[in-house]
A and B are shown apart, each in its own frame.
Chain A
Amino acid sequence: MDRNYCQELLDAIERADRAGAAAVVDAWAVGRSFSQVVPELLSPTLESFGTLWSQGHGGVSLATGYVASKVAEDVLSRLLRESSPDGGPILPSKGPVLLGNVEDDFHPLGRNMVVAFLRTAGWDVRDLGVDVPPAQFVDQAEETGARVIGASAMMYTTAKNVARIRAEIDRRGLTGKVQLAVGGAVFKLRPELVSDLGGDGTATSALEASALFERLWQRSLNLDPTPLRALP
């Protein structure tokens, strides 16, 4: 009987069993091209996990989400080591996009998980770290050509700094062209803050961030398809 590797990987994640997850990936890889691990194993598994997470499934804790992000990182690290035998791209290329915790916010866990899941989905993520001033977000967007900025804030106090990023984007005439995604515990508790503070969208879990970034990227292109920066 064929093994259901996706279910086995999902089970390992739910048990917070990182080593068990690696063993499932190893077993899946026997006789297969590892270049297909993301579309054939990791993505469908994470999609199922994301559904459980967003539904508030009883066994899914924050740590389980963290384990999922670590499993994704493990798979991506191996993928980078084992380049595609046909010389094709290892992952689809999307982006670039930016991610960072807003100024005064020093809670990186959620952001790090989003970084892992976005990279799994093929985004070129530039991670700016914690305590990022508004100008730095927008400077980096202009330098890299990122059409989406992801700003993370855990607390209401720090979430207010999202409004300062919004103001900086608008002040530089980049309204619409640079989309502002926001995330963090406070936005889950108070969704009205997303628009109140000038965000263009949010996701209900880290795993849904990629779909959000896709929508925002497309909205930016629809509003203004010209590049953010002059091509070299």
Chain B
Amino acid sequence: MAALQDQPADRPLLLLNAGLYGAKLTGASLKDHYRDPAVYVEGQVAILETFSPDFLISPFVLAGLGEAFGSRVTSSLRQPPNVAAFAAESAEAALRLPLPDVDSHPGILYLRESIRLLAGRYAGRVPVIGLLVSPLDLPPLIIGLEAWLDALLFQPEVARALLDRLTPFFAALGKAMLGDGATALALTANLTNRFIVPERVVETLGRPALREALAEIPGPVILHHGGCPLLPHLGDFMGHPNVVGYVLDAGEDLGEARRVLGAGPLLLGNLSGPDLAGLRPDEVGVLCDRALAQRGPDQQFALATCCADIPLDTPPECIEALTDAVCRAGRVPA
């Protein structure tokens, strides 16, 4: 909790994007893991007991948000559910879809109940991060990325209308997740990243829409790189309401990011979670030490896995290497 409250921490913080990996530790089927909040929570409990991260996370199952709008979701034996068919074929068609009720839709209740259970169990001791997407990243889950790019690039007035329609849903869900006990929200805003869309879209649609949406959230927000480089465009994501932290992409220069951000915001990164499966524990340790060395005594830095979930076939020793690294670098014995 210390870093989020701008208080000194007794060791470098550790965040694991290990929502999926909880199922490996509990042996639960992914179908149950991503449908039953109690099953998911047992996974996070196992993650906490096994690897001692400083944060817990809500299910990283963005497809569920698309499902709430009517997209068809498919399950997998190896990864979180994915959207297999979209609720509408265009941004114009999506304008006619009803907004899901955050208090009654089963998929959304799964997300919220997971947070409630985690917060109830660890309130005041372990922060629970609620994972969400900004309104800019909701349309790819509802109409697909291509249709959303078509709107952003070729029909900006329709794109703006859809953002206006989706922002109240985003705000309602964000408020609800915080009300359920999430300490902060972490969300992506890929469709306002210059790596994905041109400057014109960032300036005229992306940044204004992101600012307006974030102003509606009554709590701290961490912006996640979402698979795109964040550091080259960090300025686009600064100065927005309620933003207290940034998750950088794998390997991005943490020192440079701190220089750009200045003192204050939480800085998280920069190990690729998906890559852990292909490394030896000693190789993971080297990467951790390198990241920790870049930030030295920075109390507002958290060693974190970024990109997607840590894969199921990652040896536990590779995740333990992160725990060992923060303990080595910290002020408490391992």
What separation, in Å, do the CA atoms of A62 and B195 have in the docked complex? 6
The interface residues of chain A lying within 8 Å CB-to-CB of B250 are 189
* CB–CB A109/B145 < 8 A: yes
The interface stretch among B31-39, B74-82, B214-222, B298-306 is B74-82
The interface stretch among B117-125, B128-136, B196-204 is B196-204
Cβ of A155 within 8 Å of any chain B Cβ, yes or no, is: yes
Q: Mark B80-98, 1 if CB is under 8 A from A, else 0.
A: 0011100000000000000
In the assembled complex, how far is the CB of residue A198 from the closest CB belonging to chain B, in whole angstroms? 15
Cβ of B277 within 8 Å of any chain A Cβ, yes or no, is: yes
Total cross-chain contacts (CB, 8 A): 73
Q: Mark A125-156, 1 if CB is under 8 A from B, else 0.
A: 00000110000000000000000000000011
Known: A104-B79, A158-B79. A64 touches B275 (CB 8 A): no
Interface residues of B (CB under 8 A from A): 74, 76, 78-79, 82-84, 144-146, 149, 152-154, 194-201, 227, 250, 272, 274-275, 277-278, 308-309, 311
What separation, in Å, do the CA atoms of A185 and B195 have in the docked complex? 13
In the assembled complex, how far is the CB of residue B312 from the closest CB belonging to chain A, in whole angstroms? 8
Cβ of A80 within 8 Å of any chain B Cβ, yes or no, is: no
Chain B residue nearest in CB terms to A67: B153
Interface centre among B146, B200, B275, B311 (most CB of A within 10 A): B146
The interface residues of chain B lying within 8 Å CB-to-CB of A63 are 149, 152-153, 196-198, 201
Cβ of A157 within 8 Å of any chain B Cβ, yes or no, is: yes
The interface residues of chain A lying within 8 Å CB-to-CB of B194 are 61
In the assembled complex, how far is the CB of residue A153 from the closest CB belonging to chain B, in whole angstroms? 12
The 8 Å CB contact of A66, one of B146, B200, B227, B308, is: B146
In the assembled complex, how far is the CB of residue A108 from the closest CB belonging to chain B, in whole angstroms? 7
In the assembled complex, how far is the CB of residue B276 from the closest CB belonging to chain A, in whole angstroms? 10
Cβ of A16 within 8 Å of any chain B Cβ, yes or no, is: yes
Given A61-B197, A104-B79; 9 other pairs, CB 8 A cutoff? A16-B200, A18-B154, A61-B196, A61-B198, A63-B152, A63-B196, A130-B84, A157-B309, A158-B78
How many of A's residues come within 8 Å of B, CB to CB? Answer: 28
* CB–CB A156/B275 < 8 A: yes
What separation, in Å, do the CA atoms of A62 and B250 have in the docked complex? 19
Cβ of A32 within 8 Å of any chain B Cβ, yes or no, is: no
The interface residues of chain B lying within 8 Å CB-to-CB of A66 are 146, 149, 153
* CB–CB B83/A106 < 8 A: yes
The interface residues of chain B lying within 8 Å CB-to-CB of A120 are none
Chain B residue nearest in CB terms to A113: B146
In the assembled complex, how far is the CB of residue B118 from the closest CB belonging to chain A, in whole angstroms? 24
What separation, in Å, do the CA atoms of A87 and B87 have in the docked complex? 44
In the assembled complex, how far is the CB of residue B193 from the closest CB belonging to chain A, in whole angstroms? 8
In the assembled complex, how far is the CB of residue A19 from the closest CB belonging to chain B, in whole angstroms? 8
In the assembled complex, how far is the CB of residue B234 from the closest CB belonging to chain A, in whole angstroms? 15
Q: Mark A2-42, 1 if CB is under 8 A from B, else 0.
A: 00000000000001101100000000000000000000000
What separation, in Å, do the CA atoms of A131 and B83 have in the docked complex? 11
Chain A residue nearest in CB terms to B153: A16
The 8 Å CB contact of A157, one of B74, B272, B274, is: B274
The interface residues of chain A lying within 8 Å CB-to-CB of B149 are 63, 66, 109
* CB–CB A64/B146 < 8 A: no
